[in-house]
Amino acid sequence: MDFEQIYSEHFSGVYKYVLSLSQDEAIAEEVAQETFFKAMRNIGKFSGACKLYVWLCQIAKNTYFSLCQKRKRHASGAGADDLPADTDIEAGYLDRDAAKRLHVLLHDLSEPYKEVFALRVFGELPFSQIGELFGKTDSWARLIFYRAKKQLQEGMR
């Protein structure tokens, strides 16, 4: 399998995985591109001990977390000017309030609940792939997702 074929088969999945972590399309695109660049340079190191998709997601996850660390170091210079302006304050206030509460609840979830929930809902990954990413079974992923969803539902009451 040549690298162009690997890219065309797995880019969408890796992009969705990173999008589930970052919640930002631009960051997901950047990290996915960097992931395939790193994978291309290191394809000889791929041992085949896991599926190629899982290996790519591991690279993506490490790349994303490295980017987050780099941005944290540079964030001290960021100011209020960097925040997007909300042009219509009243429209959708209740939806935004609920979304904010849900975001805070999701942020406060402990691992692995937070990541499994994000992978399933935002990354649209099947439980089998989520389990594989964690070195667990799909039943484990289902259980963790169920528990995370239950915690979020209780927090929204």
**Residue range 84-126, pLDDT digits in tens:** 444 444 445 556 677 777 778 887 888 888 888 888 887 778 8
Tally the residues of the chain.
157
CATH topology classification for 1-72: Rna Polymerase Sigma Factor; Chain: A (1.10.1740)
Residue 82 has pLDDT above 60, yes or no: no
Q: Does domain 96-157 have CATH number 1.10.10.10?
A: yes
How far is residue 134's CA from residue 60's CA, in Å, rounded to a whole number?
14
Q: Is 83's pLDDT higher than 50?
A: no
Whole-number Å distance between alpha carbons of 14 and 123? 9
User: Is there a common fold for 1-72 and 96-157?
Assistant: no
What mean pLDDT is reported for the chain? 80
The pTM assigned to this predicted structure is: 0.51
Per the CB < 8 A criterion, the answer to whether 21 and 118 are in contact is: yes
Q: What is the pLDDT of residues 20-43, one digit of tens each?
A: 888 888 888 889 888 888 888 888
**Would you list the domain boundaries of the chain?**
1-72, 96-157
